[in-house]
Amino acid sequence: MPLPVALQSLPNQLTLARIAAVPLIVFLIVTAWEPFRWLALLLYIAAALTDWLDGFLARRMNVSSDLGKMLDPIADKLLVGALLITFAYTRDLGALDLIPAIAILMREIFIAGLREYLGNRAVSVPVSLLAKWKTTIQLVALGAILAAPMLLGLTGIAIALLWVAGALTLWTGWEYLKGAWPSLAGNGT
């Protein structure tokens, strides 16, 4: 059975590869064996880079698709969410670090629901430039947390980046909510 046309495009295949990499990255981290953690870091970096590359290629090759527009943020949320949960499990995050981690998870789930709700009403919620930076800082922070046990002196920077990512995540969530509010308030439900 042939693949649907949208799945044949390289950008969408990269997005699907990012999704497929998530369980493997998590497995490599939880094994708690340093060579596997290095491998997880390399795989994570490759997955994080596809976040930029798939969008770049879709625009460059003029193969943007509705499927890709749906899958790309899902891939980001799966990667970020799975790593936050994994780092809580492995204790790479301390108790206070769960504050930005939970804020990130809550915002990502809320905005995904908001987009779905508004999408059913033909209301578009475009991704802002700040939201793209938010995702980049999230990915860098998580990569730094992943690398911190293997690279001396990185832990403080990694945790600081997580808090910055948490703050940006809340800010962009608030911006989306403000932008969507007229559509929400006008509905009456």
pLDDT tens digits, one per residue of 74-89: 999 999 999 999 999 9
pLDDT bin (cut points 50, 70, 90) of residue 6 is low
When comparing pLDDT for 36 and 3, which is higher? Answer: 36
User: Which among 112, 111, 103, 114 has a CA at the least distance from the CA of 138?
Assistant: 103
Residue 5 pLDDT > 70, yes or no?
no
Task: Kindly provide the residue ranges of all beta strands, DSSP E only, lying in 10-102, ordered along the sequence.
Answer: none
How many folded domains does the chain comprise? 1
Rounded-to-integer distance, Cα 130 and Cα 35, Å: 35
When comparing pLDDT for 187 and 39, which is higher? Answer: 39
Whether residue 187 is contained in a domain is answered as: no
Residues of the domain holding 31: 5-182
pLDDT tens digits, one per residue of 43-58: 999 999 998 999 899 8
pLDDT tens digits, one per residue of 138-187: 999 999 999 999 999 999 999 999 999 999 999 999 999 998 898 888 75
CATH code assigned at 119: 1.20.120.1760
Whether residue 80 is contained in a domain is answered as: yes
Whether residue 175 is contained in a domain is answered as: yes
Whether residue 69 is contained in a domain is answered as: yes
Whether residue 79 is contained in a domain is answered as: yes
Question: With 0-12 CB in 10 A as exposed, 13-18 as middle and 19+ as buried, what is 108?
Answer: buried
Rounded-to-integer distance, Cα 56 and Cα 38, Å: 27
